[in-house]
Amino acid sequence: MAELDTVIGAVCEALIDGGVPAVISQNPFGGKKHHHDPIVTVGLKAGSVISCGFKEYLGMRYDSDTDTESEVYGKRIDLTLGLSLWSPKTSDHGHEKCLTLFSQTADALGSLPEALKVRELSCGETDYDHTAEMFRCDAELKLSAFLTAEKTDDSQFLDFKLKGVITN
């Protein structure tokens, strides 16, 4: 489902824009075994798709500039994303940096696209991961994503896009 990649990518982008180094957890260490700096990995834990309207149909939209009508479809995806906050075992980082990363993450989520609504952000204890040789704090981000798609008489049905976000 391409929409999941879009949502997870938007969360990573918001974190990076907010000064929090972040990567998608499919490659949690960016191709390296260890990092020398703190980082947040983001991945899917759970999700559900909620259909809006009848078969996702929301209605018609008229564009006065082109004098065309299009059918509008929509859906909501409720997601729980797993965020792992990693910090190297050094005197200038350590386990305290995981708490700083959590605070920075909470602040950075304020810049998410308007189609992503944060419902809850929580974190657990910080532990030392001997395999990664880093401190790790697992967090959860629960959010709702609102997606829309349009179809005109002469177009094929397009993929759903985050509501209010223009993509190329």
Domain holding 22: CATH number?
3.30.2000.30
Nearest Cα residue to 79 out of 32, 137, 147 = 147
* pLDDT recorded at residue 33: 57
Question: Residue 161 in contact with residue 73, Cβ under 8 Å?
Answer: no
* pLDDT recorded at residue 52: 64
Low-confidence ranges of the chain (pLDDT < 50): 166-168
Does residue 117 fall inside a structural domain? Answer: yes
What is the domain range of residue 97? 2-162
How far apart are alpha carbons 72 and 3 in whole angstroms? 17
Number of domains in the chain: 1
Does residue 69 fall inside a structural domain? Answer: yes
> How confident is the model over 116-147, as pLDDT tens digits?
999 999 999 999 988 888 899 999 999 999 88
* pLDDT recorded at residue 94: 79
In this structure, the number of other CB atoms found within 10 A of the CB of residue 161 comes to: 17
Does residue 73 fall inside a structural domain? Answer: yes
